[in-house]
Amino acid sequence: MPETIVLDRPLTWQEIAAIAKGAALSLSDKTWQRIADARAIVDALVAKRVRGYGINTGVGALCDVIVDIPQQQALSRNILLSHACGVGEPLGREETRAVMAAQIANFSHGYSGVRVETVETLLALLNADIPPIIPSKGSVGYLTHAAAIGLVLIGEGEARHKGETISGKQAMEMLGRAPLVLGAKEGLSLVNGTPCATGLASLAIARTTHLLDWADAAAAMSYENLGAQADPFAAAPLALRTSPGLQTVGGNLRRLLDGSPLLAQSAGSRTQDPLSLRGVPQVHGAVRDSVAQVAEVVNRELASVTDNPVVAGTPEAPEVHSQAHAIGAALGLAMDALGTAAAELAAICERRIDRLVNPLVSNLPAFLAEGSGVASGFMIIQYTAAGLVAENRRLAAPASLDGGITSALQEDILTHATPAADKALAIIANLETVLAIEVMSAAQAYDMQPGQNGNAAGTGALYERVRAIVPVYRDDRPLNGLLAKVRDLLSKMAAF
């Protein structure tokens, strides 16, 4: 049975990521009551004809057009149909589940005013693992992604079930539910807020956090093959710099390299190691600190109401407030920062790969190849790493500065939080590949060390894990097939 996460307080990014991977979600009685209470306020606003954006008015630049009660259901439905205009390849299963979980979390605060039945249906889709198909491109913020989810609730659009594409109507039939007929405000709430960016951001943090230890592991393996200082990451001098991330990296490196015969042999042969080796605590540590800061932003977003408008008060004295809580400026800035941090981690990793394969600095066979001139070894896979690092530099340009104007000047500043999260995920995927190349290259370097003095116990365990899935490379098969196996190891297993 999958783990079940109970939503009785704001969810964390870790919980969103767990749900994305398959954990179930349930809502506490108090949470359901908050949702019901907010719906009662919307019903009162409708009955009293209190003007509220998207409740009894049009949306965007049509916000001053009054929509009377008989047309409010049509307004909600039409919002979903017209806003479902995303394009491109669909999001993956984990990405879709993360967005759905963040959407439910946003409604759970009790300020959106969607019906209990609507949240129940969204929750049923999530827990039955029938994710809507969400085109990944075309949203400057959140609208097109979220509309694709809302379509399935009304029996439109498409979803996935056990790898097959089914219609929204079939998805509802599998749940044993009739397609929803949305009430006032529900169409707007289903496309509104920052759940798309928040869900994707939670996954981005989870994937980066998982790779941080692998980055330290890969660096330790490379350092053992290339390093020279006797005590490269000593605790006392590292403690002179205030950085929790730096101290964590230093501790990891000391533990992995403890008792290394290779480092004992090379000690003192250089006064100072190159920065891609010597600077691992400072660079890897700064990335860890940056990830921690981004995680705080995402958790704050999950604890926040990001709908517009929000409803408050009581059915007797209902209130509706049009503010800009749906704008994801904080998330856009945070995801741009995370993408830059992941790109920097990949960049220093690629520099270590180059040193491993470069006979001018490695004191190892050229390109870690057997048979001089006949075999190319790891020459071209370093090109792959360099190409991915270059792509990361292009992707790391800030999305949050893109700006733009939509809806006839009504929405005249855009912060692009969802695209920022999307490109951060792309950078992180490239980072994972570059790390896999370094791990595989370092394992090959061990096999080519003159004298075979042996590894430290920590790096030796890493070497054995690599060799359990890929052999020493002798130009005897396509190298990308072996790389895929090592990347799968990094993706699924903890480094230590």
Q: Can you give the length of the chain in residues?
A: 496
The question of whether 53 is a catalytic residue gets the answer yes
DSSP result, 13-79: HHHHHHHHHT-EEEE-HHHHHHHHHHHHHHHHHHHTT---TTTSB-SGGGTTSB--GGGHHHHHHHH
Long-range contact set of residues 44-50: C-beta below 8 Å, sequence gap at least 24: 44/314, 44/315, 44/316, 44/318, 45/184, 45/311, 45/318, 45/320, 46/72, 46/184, 48/318, 50/318, 50/320
Residues facing 165 on adjacent strands: 160
Catalytic site residue from 53, 223, 463, 473: 53
User: What CA–CA distance (Å, rounded) separates 215 from 208?
Assistant: 10
User: What CA–CA distance (Å, rounded) separates 382 from 220?
Assistant: 18
Q: Which residues contact 330 (CB under 8 A, 6 or more apart)?
A: 297, 300, 301
Kindly give the residue spans of alpha helices, DSSP state H, lying in 448-478: 457-467
DSSP result, 210-241: HHHHHHHHHHHHHHHHH---SSTT-HHHHTTS
**CA-to-CA dists, residue 461 to 106, 249, 443, angstroms:** 44, 18, 11
DSSP for residue 92 = P
Long-range contact set of residues 489-493: C-beta below 8 Å, sequence gap at least 24: 489/436, 489/465, 490/211, 490/214, 490/432, 490/435, 490/436, 490/439, 491/432, 493/465
Q: Which residues contact 295 (CB under 8 A, 6 or more apart)?
A: 13, 205
The closest of 329, 55, 327 to 189, measured between CA atoms, is: 55
What are the backbone dihedrals phi and psi of residue 233, each rounded to the nearest 5 degrees, phi first? Answer: -130, 45
Quickly count: other Cβ atoms within 10 Å of residue 391's Cβ.
Answer: 15
Three-class secondary structure of residue 310 per DSSP: strand
Tokens of 245: 């991330």
- Would you please indicate which residues are annotated as catalytic (active-site) residues? 53
